[in-house]
Amino acid sequence: MSLLGRVGAAGPTAPRERRPSVLARHPGRLPIVVSAIGWAVLVVAQPGLLEPWGSGQAVSDQTASDQALSVHAGGGHGSLFTLAGIAHATVMTVAMMAPFALSGVRTAAFTSLWWRAGRAAAIFLAAFLLTWTVIALCLDAVATAWTTWLGSAATGTAVLLGVCALAQLDPTRPAKVKRCDRGMRLRPTGSEADVDCARFGVLTAGRDVRFCALPMLAMLAADPLRAGLLVMAAVSALALADRITAGHRRLLIAAAYAALAAVLALWG
pLDDT digit string, tens, across residues 210-242: 888 999 999 999 988 888 899 999 999 999 999
Euclidean distance between CA atoms 111 and 196, whole angstroms: 12
Cβ-proximal residues to 151 (8 Å cutoff; 6+ apart), any chain: none
Residue 121 lies in a domain: yes
By three-state DSSP, how is residue 48 classified? helix
Angle of CA points 15, 17, 22, to nearest 5°: 140
End-to-end CA distance of the chain: 90
Domain that holds residue 114: 27-42+62-267
Q: Is the pLDDT of residue 122 over 90?
A: yes
Whether 4 maps to a domain, the answer reads: no
- Residue 3 has a pLDDT of 39
Is the pLDDT at 78 greater than 70, yes or no?
A: no
Q: Into how many domains does the chain fold?
A: 1
In a domain, 54, yes or no: no
**Among 47-61, 62-76, 164-178, which range has the highest average pLDDT?**
164-178
Residue 47 maps to a domain: no
Length of the chain: 268
Residue 12 lies in a domain: no
pTM for the full predicted model: 0.80
Nearest to 218 by CA among 228, 205, 208: 228
Domain presence at residue 189: yes
In a domain, 85, yes or no: yes
